[in-house]
Structure 1
Amino acid sequence: MTRLAPEDCRSMTELRQQIDMLDAELVALLTARAGYIDRAAELKLGEGLPARIEWRVEEVVESVRGRATEIGLDPDLAEALWRRLIDWSIDREARVLGPDATSGIDRSEDA
């Protein structure tokens, strides 16, 4: 199916099809991201790093807010979504790293 701009959708059926396509792409991107999270857990385990590295969380959130602002998305919405995604990612890593895995550390460029 061809991607249409919102203003080119002529019916709710057509519009819903476009949203469904975007949702499928988002799920695929989240799946790809999860693969990187799994690899991060492996690397952190080998390097003795915790799942949650607070400076990195804030760096990601700041970047996402900036990008959202640039392209016209509500930065508060973007931040809320990413904080939830980050929490999920940290929980996923913690399952690999063990019970003490969520303790934050000071800024480390290797993390």
Structure 2
Amino acid sequence: MLKPPKEISTMADLRVQIDQLDRDLLALLALRQAHVDRAAELKPGEGMPARIEARVQDVLDKVEAEAESAGFEPALARQMWALMVDAMIAREERVLGPSA
């Protein structure tokens, strides 16, 4: 179990926790990617393109708001998610073809 950062007294212990957080984040990102891969399978049957701009903006707006309440820099969260969303859409487009 992770300790709160204020309870960690050495850089070595802090790095152990940061490494664990990185592994945890990667596991969640892999799960998100699997969901996006499934979206690429489902969208053709529903007549949807890879990029749906309203959905992109909705995701980014929600992330920004959630970051604020979680104590994470909202603008940074939006930038990070925008990069990830663009990469995931490119992944979908390799299956579906480019959006119109």
What's the TM-score once normalised by structure 2's chain length?
0.95
Per-residue CA deviations over 1:57-96 (Å, capped at 9, x if unaligned) read 0000110111111122111000000000100110110011
Q: 2: distance between equivalents of 1:43 and 1:87?
A: 19
The residue aligned with 1:50 is 49
Q: 1: distance between equivalents of 2:50 and 2:68?
A: 28
How far 1:45 sits from its partner (Å)?
Answer: 1.9
Letter in 2 for 1:102: S
Higher RCO structure, 1 or 2 (CA under 8 Å, sep 6+):
1
C-alpha contact (below 8 Å) 1:66/1:75 kept by paired residues: yes
Q: Percent identity?
A: 47
| 2:99 equivalent among 86, 97, 102 | 102
Q: 1: distance between equivalents of 2:44 and 2:15?
A: 43
How far 1:55 sits from its partner (Å)?
Answer: 0.2
The residue aligned with 1:107 is none
The residue aligned with 1:26 is 25
C-alpha contact (below 8 Å) 1:90/1:102 kept by paired residues: no
Gaps of 5+ in 2: none
The residue aligned with 1:5 is 4
Q: 2: distance between equivalents of 1:8 and 1:45?
A: 50
What's the TM-score once normalised by structure 1's chain length?
0.86
How far 1:47 sits from its partner (Å)?
Answer: 2.1
- Number of residue equivalences: 100
SS at match of 1:50: coil
Question: Are 1:85 and 2:77 counterparts?
Answer: no
Q: Which structure dedicates a bigger proportion of its chain to helix?
A: 2
SS at match of 2:59: helix
